[in-house]
Homo-oligomer: A and B are copies of this chain.
Amino acid sequence: MNTPPANDRLLRALLRQPVDRTPVWIMRQAGRYLPEYRATRARAGSFLALCTTPELACEVTLQPLQRFPLDAAILFSDILTIPYAMGVGLSFETGEGPKIERPIRSAADVAALPVPDPHTELRFVIDAVSLIRRELGGRVPLLGFAGSPWTVATYLVEGGSSRDFVRIKHLLYGAPATLHALLDKLAQATLLYLNAQIAAGAQALMLFDTWGGVLTPAAYREFSLAYMQRIVAGLTRERAGARVPVILFTKGGGAWLERMAGTGADALGVDWTTDLAAARRQTGGRVALQGNLDPAVLRAPPAVIRDEVGRVLASYGPGPGHVFNLGHGVTPDVDPEHVAALVAAVQELSPACHR
């Protein structure tokens, strides 16, 4: 566990150290666009069974690495494992996304919520991390992750996915103390959870703030960023002599990158609506940047994918500190050959950025 992975491009890039080429991994790289994933998922019987069975989670985590020369594995899991462990009645209806049977809407609901112990209630994730590390055999680093407290809270309060975030904004504007109590509990739970992932072998971490971008700038700082900052501050940042980099990603947060860099995170995820050149100027070399190809490009012909990969690399420009990725997760309808084209284009075009 003490030796760095054979391929340490991702870890080096996240720490803004020189690399021979830009590392690449893909959000949701272990997912429905892969036939082998769909086969394992069918065998598991349900999405939740897949998440809660370490052997199966390990199997699907490794699948994309068998197909593509990616520079990282990302733990196969879900941002809603914490609500699952809190016992709110999480289920995933096919084609409808997550559903929470007992949503959290009052101060009493919040007070009754437990903070799950990662070593017991979330043991399936921690075991998956250990197992994946063992199976990876040090080839590439393993990324752990969690949802941001704000993002997880949106599901808990809305009872599932949302478009307008009516109920949680009702709390935010009408009963902010209740929302803060919920976010505080989620931040505690998330910190324990991520530190347990690190202890089990996660070599870098990412916090997914999928819904921070629906807030006003002031509300973002108060209800999302402040809790991410608290998590960053409490994380085990070094393990077995190696720095454990942490990536923050707020979808739609392009205007707030400077403040996000101020949290002490090592790297920021950037969605496709912000140019990496602008993001780099805004953050002035204080953090690495991860992104940001429009996921829709993966539906275009391989020649277009190659051009667009080139545009993203050129937008970041020369020098270290860039991790190639999409600006959001790969969608189920994408042809795996197009993902292969993306990875090949990064391998072919990016060495020129590092001379």
List the B side residues contacting A252 at CB < 8 Å: 252, 273
Cβ-neighbour of A216 out of B169, B272, B299, B300 (below 8 A): B272
Contact A304–B217 (Cβ < 8 Å): no
Contact B300–A217 (Cβ < 8 Å): no
Least distance between A224 CB and chain B CB atoms (Å):
12
A294 within 8 A of B: yes
Contact B296–A164 (Cβ < 8 Å): yes
Scan residues 201-247 of chain A and give those whose CB is less than 8 A from a CB of chain B: 213-219
A93 within 8 A of B: no
Contacts A164-B331, A299-B174, A311-B218: A169 and B273 contacting too (C-beta < 8 A)? no
Contact B213–A273 (Cβ < 8 Å): yes
Number of copies: 2
A301 within 8 A of B: yes
Contact B294–A169 (Cβ < 8 Å): yes
Contacts A166-B333, A169-B294: A217 and B274 contacting too (C-beta < 8 A)? yes
A278 within 8 A of B: yes
Contact A173–B308 (Cβ < 8 Å): yes
Q: How many residues of A contact B (CB 8 A)?
A: 34
Contacts A164-B296, A166-B296, A311-B218: A304 and B255 contacting too (C-beta < 8 A)? no
Interchain CA distance A86-B57 in the complex, whole Å: 51
Chief secondary structure at chain A's binding surface? helix
Closest to A296 in B: B169
Closest to A333 in B: B166
Contact B170–A275 (Cβ < 8 Å): no
Interchain CA distance A302-B297 in the complex, whole Å: 45
Scan residues 309-355 of chain A and give those whose CB is less than 8 A from a CB of chain B: 311, 331, 333
Cβ-neighbour of A299 out of B170, B217, B294, B331 (below 8 A): B170
A254 within 8 A of B: yes
Interchain CA distance A31-B301 in the complex, whole Å: 43
List the B side residues contacting A333 at CB < 8 Å: 166
A165 within 8 A of B: yes
In the complex, which of the residues A217, A304, A333 has the most CB atoms of chain B within 10 Å of its own CB atom? A217
Mask of A16-40 contacts with B, CB within 8 angstroms, 1/0: 0000000000000000000000000
List the B side residues contacting A311 at CB < 8 Å: 218
The contact sample of 7 A-B pairs, CB cut-off 8 A, is A169-B296, A174-B300, A215-B273, A216-B275, A217-B274, A217-B275, A255-B255
Residue ranges of A at the interface with B (Cβ–Cβ < 8 Å): 164-166, 169-170, 172-174, 213-219, 252, 254-255, 272-275, 278, 294, 296-297, 299-301, 304, 308, 311, 331, 333
Closest 5 CB pairs of A and B: A169-B296, A173-B300, A174-B300, A217-B275, A216-B272
